[in-house]
Amino acid sequence: KNEVEQSPQNLTAQEGEFITINCSYSVGISALHWLQQHPGGGIVSLFMLSSGKKKHGRLIATINIQEKHSSLHITASHPRDSAVYICAVTGNQFYFGTGTSLTVIP
């Protein structure tokens, strides 16, 4: 069993839809990260959070420490949001989810 589980693995949405990607983890953590990997492979860090909620533009990330669960929301999705979204947690070491592949269709 992976320490970090993401769902869904693949997601296709119409432009403008509200999108949610979920992440559950089983280890004690000090922080949770959401990363975005573009088709060419480059990775961008979207959020790092240890409690509550963060918002950046159309992206919102929440975390519930008690439930060991985080969600990444994308409002008014756009084709340029198409990417793989990776959840990672840090505690004594780094653990990565295998990613959610998102495709937003115009």
Partner 1 sequence: SQTIHQWPATLVQPVGSPLSLECTVEGTSNPNLYWYRQAAGRGLQLLFYSIGIDQISSEVPQNLSASRPQDRQFILSSKKLLLSDSGFYLCAWSVWGDGLAGNISSYNEQFFGPGTRLTVL
Q: Give the footprint of partner 1 on this chain (CB under 8 A).
A: 30-31, 33, 35, 40-45, 48, 86, 88, 90-94, 96-99
Q: Which is nearer to partner 1, 26 or 45 (CB)?
A: 45
Q: Which is nearer to partner 1, 10 or 105 (CB)?
A: 10
95: which 2 tokens? 């653990």
60, 75 contact by CB (below 8 A): yes
Q: How far is the CB of 96 from partner 1 (least distance, A)?
A: 4
Q: How far is the CB of 33 from partner 1 (least distance, A)?
A: 7
Q: How far is the CB of 94 from partner 1 (least distance, A)?
A: 5
Q: In degrees, to the nearest 5, what angle opens at C-alpha 48 toward C-alphas 12 and 6?
A: 35
Q: Which is nearer to partner 1, 16 or 50 (CB)?
A: 50
Phi-psi region of 52 (alpha: psi -120 to 50; beta: other; left: phi over 0): left
Cis omega (within 30 of 0) on the bond before 8? yes
Q: How far is the CB of 87 from partner 1 (least distance, A)?
A: 10
102, 11 contact by CB (below 8 A): yes
Q: Which is nearer to partner 1, 14 or 93 (CB)?
A: 93
